[in-house]
Chain A
């Protein structure tokens, strides 16, 4: 299913400068896997080598934080927007 992933500015250089990337996937995990295949330097900034979402990376499907849903198994409806945001962290 076609999905649009919206990236924060700091990650856009790892997607060829794009603000949005179109990929296929039915779950957040599938979307991130497709994103990683297309842009490996972007993908590993979102997940570690175990496939876990990095601690301070937030992913939303619409308005829902996937950590409040089913994590990487969260379904992504066709045409949905997946938004990647850095959490507020650091000193």
Chain B
């Protein structure tokens, strides 16, 4: 039987969890990269070669990208650093917030999103990255602002079948898309409210917290905004609210169901002014009808005195036939479901605050 590997990035290092019995039990190891904040991880399983990528940054010593070709037994680092802003930009890399392997037909390409907001492209499976000038040189860039966590391109979505199409989401800045491989970019935020501006419906400047899609239906986008839950059916040209039925329209993550188009998961928090789960309950909300209705998933999740917020990359799905879903909290718990969210179990607890989780079938 194959194994499932889960990477858990926290504010103080990386933990790995492995299951060899179809996700019934887990063996947790860690930490690696102690005292490094791990904002992004990727499990690159393209072409039958598994490579783990980790963005780890130290408050003292700066950012790095590490890679492992032996499932985390050993790690390598590009000695000169994986990404450098060119001298003419006057910028310095704070960290990578996103690591996104391209589709299978571009087996060596990995994209990254960074703080400050920028897109990067690697053509050697994440060993070195080059700045994508098209986005960096965009005339809107000077007007993109910083959210509480910093100004970052936190989401990178390479199109699953068309290598010319790629999109990013930025806080703040909004959702931008390119149809020429990253050379030129247009904002695509029509319908997404930015209540914190005098004009709440600007062309750009939205504080989009996360965007995701199902690879089989890449023009259907799901967004969790800084207040606002949205869906687009036209690759971001227009967005509609699907928040009706949720306890709140605030939150950070969204995960599109990887196998079932029209289904997605959210983890609402009360509000910008109260970033806690409503009613002290850990509830993942699932829709299977494109956001028309919502179901609170609670079995096995704490239902009283629970105060763990879930950050934008701290929820993910795996690639198993019966989808597993994983949630990490700022209170250091990781919950796992092996049945599409119907029921949950504690995978780990008392870790540092969880920044990101990613899972995949390996070996």
Measured CB to CB, the residues of A under 8 A from B are 10-11, 40-41, 44-46, 48-50, 52, 54-57, 86-87, 89-90
A89→B62 contact, CB < 8 A: no
- Count A/B pairs, Cβ under 8 Å: 47
Chain A residues within an 8 Å CB radius of B93 = 48-49
Show 19 A/B contacts (Cβ-Cβ < 8 Å), sorted by A: A11-B61, A40-B81, A41-B77, A45-B58, A45-B60, A45-B62, A48-B92, A48-B93, A49-B87, A50-B92, A52-B92, A54-B61, A54-B62, A56-B59, A56-B60, A57-B60, A57-B61, A86-B60, A90-B60
Within 8 A of A (CB), among B89-120: 90-93
Chain B residues within an 8 Å CB radius of A40 = 79-81
Within 8 A of A (CB), among B32-51: 35
Chain A residues within an 8 Å CB radius of B60 = 45, 54, 56-57, 86-87, 89-90
Chain B residues within an 8 Å CB radius of A48 = 62, 92-93
With A45-B62, A87-B60 given, can you name 14 additional A-B contacts, CB distance below 8 Å? A11-B61, A40-B79, A40-B80, A41-B77, A41-B81, A45-B60, A48-B62, A48-B92, A49-B85, A50-B91, A54-B61, A89-B59, A90-B35, A90-B60
Bound-complex Cα distance A4 to B80 (A)? 22
Chain B residues within an 8 Å CB radius of A90 = 35, 59-60
B90→A50 contact, CB < 8 A: yes
Q: How far is the CB of B90 from chain A (nearest CB, A)?
A: 7
Q: How far is the CB of B183 from chain A (nearest CB, A)?
A: 24
Bound-complex Cα distance A56 to B59 (A)? 7
Q: How far is the CB of B232 from chain A (nearest CB, A)?
A: 36
Bound-complex Cα distance A55 to B63 (A)? 13
Closest to A36 in B: B80
Chain A residues within an 8 Å CB radius of B91 = 50
Bound-complex Cα distance A40 to B93 (A)? 16
Residue B141 is within 8 A (CB to CB) of chain A in the complex: no
A44→B81 contact, CB < 8 A: yes
Chain B residues within an 8 Å CB radius of A55 = 59
Chain B residues within an 8 Å CB radius of A54 = 60-62
Q: How far is the CB of A88 from chain B (nearest CB, A)?
A: 10
Instruction: With a 10 A CB-CB cut-off, give which of B59, B60, B87 has the most chain A CB atoms.
Output: B60
Bound-complex Cα distance A87 to B93 (A)? 20
Residue B260 is within 8 A (CB to CB) of chain A in the complex: no
Chain A residues within an 8 Å CB radius of B85 = 49-50
Closest to A86 in B: B60
Bound-complex Cα distance A86 to B79 (A)? 20
B62→A44 contact, CB < 8 A: yes
Q: How far is the CB of B197 from chain A (nearest CB, A)?
A: 31
Chain A residues within an 8 Å CB radius of B84 = 49
Closest to A8 in B: B60
